[in-house]
Each structure stands twice: as C-alpha cells, then as structure tokens.
C-alpha cells in the first residue's frame, strides 16, 4: 500500500483477511499499520507532496459475469469460524464439498478473506478454489499476491484430486457436534 487511492481502498474493504504487515510495519497489527500509513500519506499530502502523474493506466479487463449464485454471508461466516477451530482441516473440507454440491460461490466481498485462506493453507485448495467464482479467478489472474494460485495444475480437471468428506471418529463428540452445527447453519443454502 503506497498510494493514497490504494490506502483509501483498503480502508473501505477493511483489514480482515489482509496480509500481515511486513518490513517497518511488522510489529503492528494490520489495523495499526493501515492507520499509520494513512497518517503518513496524509501528512505528506498536506505538506505539498504531489504523487508523480501516471503516463498511462494499465489495460485491465473487467471481471467476467458470474455463473454461480453467491452463498449467504452466514455461510462465509461459518467458513471463517471453522478456520479458527482446531478441527479446521475436517470442517473446511466439508464446507467446501457442501458449497460445491450446492453449486454456490462466495460473495465478491468475501473473496479477499477466502483467497487469503487458500493462500495460507495449500491443503484446502481443491475444496475452496471451485467456490471463488469468475471474479475470484479474475482476481488471481490480475494480482501478484495470488501468483501461487495461477499454477495450471490447480485448474486442470484431470489432476483434480477426489474430494472426500472428513472421516470423523465416533468418539469425537466435539467434532461431531461442530459439524452438525455447521451443517444446520448451512441448511438454507
């Protein structure tokens, strides 16, 4: 984040799902780093700094129209909750299989956080990549932050692993209860 417009965009989108600050901002939370960057950029602007003019804007095609309907915000909230549990490995697999089966995608506003989850946890790529929709693919193609997700083998149907629901031991009552709660919460999808 270095231009005023980028900083304002980040404020509008929020810091949830944003990459951890690095460099001189590494000791701060994402919120603190963003506020300090805005304060610094604002002081420079008030001091008379004018950013150099851009000679030409890069050609950027708009995202293609979506094919799948969006899942609810509640469904995305379940995904975010499950990521923070000790059973994330099992529950996120089941969440992804459920959304793929319902032919749903995540809403546009949730793409940064879902792509962040995919970027952090390679094992969930086959379960979450199919639910990012056309705009998610467009974001991957047009953002250096998601360069790892451009690998052709991730998008090849021949190399796609078989998606399997989590196997849950009968004596794991907590995981069984969490899965049941999640599935009940997703029932209206």
105 forms beta bridges with 70
Residue 67 pLDDT: 93
| φ/ψ (deg, to 5) at 81 | -65, -45
Question: What's the angle, vertex CA 17, arms to CA 65 and CA 74, rounded to 5?
Answer: 65
Residue 1 pLDDT: 45
> How many C-beta atoms surround the C-beta of residue 139 within 10 A?
19
Provide the residue ranges of all domains of the chain, joining segments of one domain with +.
4-46, 73-186
| φ/ψ (deg, to 5) at 85 | -90, 165
What are the tens digits of pLDDT across the range 26-85? 788 878 887 888 788 778 777 887 766 656 656 778 888 999 999 998 888 888 888 887
- Residue 163 — pLDDT band, cuts 50, 70, 90? low
């Amino acid at each position: 984040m270095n231009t005023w417009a980028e900083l304002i965009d980040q404020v509008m989108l929020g810091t949830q799902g944003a990459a951890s600050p690095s460099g001189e901002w590494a000791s701060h939370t994402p919120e603190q780093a963003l506020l300090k960057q805005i304060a610094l950029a604002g002081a420079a602007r008030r001091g008379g700094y004018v950013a150099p003019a851009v000679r030409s804007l890069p050609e950027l095609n708009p995202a293609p129209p979506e094919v799948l309907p969006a899942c609810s915000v509640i469904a995305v909230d379940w995904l975010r909750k499950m990521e923070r549990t000790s059973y994330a490995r099992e529950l996120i697999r089941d969440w992804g299989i459920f959304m793929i089966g319902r032919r749903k995608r995540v809403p546009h506003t949730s793409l940064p956080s879902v792509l962040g989850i995919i970027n952090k946890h390679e094992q969930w790529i086959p379960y979450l990549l199919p639910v990012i929709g056309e705009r998610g693919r467009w974001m991957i193609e047009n953002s250096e932050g998601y360069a790892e997700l451009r690998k052709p083998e991730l998008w090849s149907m021949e190399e796609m692993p078989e998606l399997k629901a989590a196997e849950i031991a009968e004596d794991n009552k907590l995981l069984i209860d969490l899965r049941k709660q999640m599935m009940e919460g997703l029932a209206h999808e």
